[in-house]
Amino acid sequence: MEEDTKRCPYCGEEILATAKKCKHCGEWLDNSRIQACVIKKIADCQRISNIVWLIIAIIQICSIICIIAGVWNIIAVCSSWKLPKKILRQDNDIPSYYEGIAGLIVIAIVNFLLGGLIGVILVCFDFYIRGLVLDNRQIFNKGSV
């Protein structure tokens, strides 16, 4: 009866499936090194995710400020609804109604869309991290703090 063999993941030589150490290259086969790589990868991904979520949170807070500006602009539009009559009357406060309103609305829309799109992509990234963790759940066996 021939014993089961496998390839050493480090040197590629054939070794016993039950081997604890490769007889060709001397590497230990207890998965600790592979696990260390996976753990580092997951930790790095989660760190990236945290940083990008922080950036998005800041963008979204800015977006909320822009939305408030947009609401303010709608109120401004309502108040300027009577402008045509004022123009016909040639009131001297007319120029002040044309300063900066359209620009604020554009900024509000752009910030809202930007935060939303990056957020969707980042949720996908977080699902990827979740998959990494769940696929390697046996690694996380050191207990909790």
Judged by the rule CB under 5 A, the positions of this chain that interact with Zn ion are 8, 10-11, 22, 24-25
What's the CA angle centered on 46, arms 42 and 52, to 5 degrees?
145
User: Between residues 29 and 105, which has the closer beta carbon with respect to Zn ion?
Assistant: 29
User: Between residues 33 and 47, which has the closer beta carbon with respect to Zn ion?
Assistant: 33
Rounded-to-integer distance, Cα 37 and Cα 134, Å: 16
Minimum Å distance from CB 37 to Zn ion? 17
User: Between residues 8 and 59, which has the closer beta carbon with respect to Zn ion?
Assistant: 8
48 contact partners, CB below 8 Å, separation of at least 6: 125
Q: At 20, phi and psi to the nearest 5? A: -95, -25
Minimum Å distance from CB 24 to Zn ion? 4
Minimum Å distance from CB 54 to Zn ion? 43
